[in-house]
Structure 1
């Protein structure tokens, strides 16, 4: 029996340019959903729609009675639909490539299921009246989606190009860097969960941690990430024209800029616009760390278990 994709594959074929464009669209929407989620929280619109999946008892769309908070929350939900379209288009374009790339189609489906996961977590967040733990989980699911879109975007840039090995081994530094940045992101969600911006004007519970202590731990993780990035930069400098060295340099710039925004955030008493800039910066730092790993890891650097992961990413 012929499947719809098999029927289409016999009649339609896309080139690499269409695949790269689809991957770019998916990456862009993953960044947008993080930013708009931040806007929802910082404007106190987290419960602008008081139900899920329906916005209110009157239907799925926001009504004038819900005011600006309802409009903001509903706009974020509409963007989730745009994300689904972008991911669906990526799956179609990758599946119907004239030169087959089944690995990218699989990654497209990974994106799809992460979007479903994030939608479910978002619904639970509304039902739980903005539990700070579910809000954190919602953000981390969005970052997981960003990871998948980054991997696909990166892989489309390497299609049909021979891999260029690094002139010098970098050991486990890229993995350590990515793990540290992951810890940095998690601490960021805890700082958010203990801070004053709860996402709604009502009495929303906060995490029972000391905000100052969590902020210092967040800063310590950032300092460690910076140290690992400098060490990696010194290793890759032996091959200054390599993608790994360029990527590590860009990551260092992004991390330093993010640190500056973070200090400004504290100095301005957590001004909303600065927090939003810090949120966007966290996404760029994470993308940078993922791409550093992708550009620096080679089969000679890893053990058997890690080797399978690298093959899947590359």
Structure 2
């Protein structure tokens, strides 16, 4: 395979991997919001003695089964991405990430099985979301590597700012899973809740969001002249504001399904945004290492062209 052709193919598969791992969050939200979480009563079978829903099964079973089938699509995309990575590039990080994403998708299937067997325990359901966020972060890193987007050299305070926004955002999103576990959309009418007061945990989630937004606003201002970092910070601000509007709307309207689903879509977009910010800056020493990697790739291209 010509290295330029391979690189183009790698970029397409890396993007497909990212989109697929975002979509599984959306379909998972659909399962939860339609109370289809126990549509298939067991795992790995859908019902005892059958891996597919019985023809007379309720529509909840087909929604849950469809979400399970999507996992196989993710595995196929992850496998194709890994094969393309190993045929195209030698960089260790993207190779390791391609393997990690495939293993992570398999782990999601196991967590999904535990979720069903524990009858939608809210803490296990929250772990599903934690894994999805980690997979999206890994996929965004792979996309950056595939497109050879290198972080800009930054002062220590700017770099620490990007790190702060990223890790605070992860905390905020985890608190979001706690809010979900306290709310009414359990995935099944009889599923247990985590016992927290919905208003209190929602307030804590909101406060964390406002702190993160304040730090990101400072970062966007402080990064004047460092274009990639500033653009990434502004993207985080934009998606955070969108999420805030959707979040407050769903809370004050009593968590209507459509608005909650929009919030879950927004969560995946926000994860992409903070991942881009996280990858936008590097201390000077790290930047020189990335330049060496980029230079070796360019040299390999010239050799192939000859």
2:84 corresponds to: 93
Q: Residues 215-226 of structure 1: matches in 2 within 5 Å?
A: 215-226=202-213
**1:244 equivalent in alignment to 2:232:** no
CA distance in structure 2 between the aligned counterparts of 1:164 and 1:289, rounded to whole angstroms: 16
How far does residue 164 in structure 1 lie from its aligned partner after superposition?
4.6
- Runs of 5+ unmatched residues, structure 1: 1-8
- Secondary structure of the residue aligned to 1:117 is helix
- Secondary structure of the residue aligned to 1:269 is coil
The alpha-carbon distance between structure 1 residues 218 and 60, as it changes in their structure 2 partners (threshold 3 A), is same
1:115 corresponds to: 105
After TM superposition, the score normalised by the length of structure 2 is 0.89
2:185 corresponds to: 197
1:63 corresponds to: 54
Contact 2:31-2:63 within 8 A present in 1 as well: yes
CA distance in structure 1 between the aligned counterparts of 2:155 and 2:284, rounded to whole angstroms: 14
- Secondary structure of the residue aligned to 1:148 is helix
Q: Which of 4, 27, 30 pairs up with 1:36?
A: 27
2:296 corresponds to: none
Give the RMSD, CA atoms, in angstroms.
2.5
1:271 corresponds to: 256
CA distance in structure 1 between the aligned counterparts of 2:199 and 2:214, rounded to whole angstroms: 23
Q: Which of 120, 131, 137 pairs up with 1:130?
A: 120
Q: Which of 263, 267, 280 pairs up with 2:265?
A: 280
**1:297 equivalent in alignment to 2:288:** no
How far does residue 103 in structure 1 lie from its aligned partner after superposition?
2.8
Contact 2:216-2:233 within 8 A present in 1 as well: yes
How far does residue 49 in structure 1 lie from its aligned partner after superposition?
0.5
How far does residue 102 in structure 1 lie from its aligned partner after superposition?
3.8
How far does residue 301 in structure 1 lie from its aligned partner after superposition?
8.7
Count the aligned residue pairs: 291
After TM superposition, the score normalised by the length of structure 1 is 0.87
- Secondary structure of the residue aligned to 2:187 is coil
- Secondary structure of the residue aligned to 1:198 is coil
1:4 corresponds to: none
Residue deviations 1:132-155, cap 9 Å, x none? 111111111111111111111122
CA distance in structure 1 between the aligned counterparts of 2:235 and 2:133, rounded to whole angstroms: 20
CA distance in structure 2 between the aligned counterparts of 1:35 and 1:12, rounded to whole angstroms: 35
How far does residue 12 in structure 1 lie from its aligned partner after superposition?
10
Q: Which of 156, 169, 172 pairs up with 2:146?
A: 156
How far does residue 267 in structure 1 lie from its aligned partner after superposition?
2.3
Contact 2:151-2:280 within 8 A present in 1 as well: no
Residue deviations 1:114-139, cap 9 Å, x none? 11211111100000010111111111
How far does residue 184 in structure 1 lie from its aligned partner after superposition?
0.6
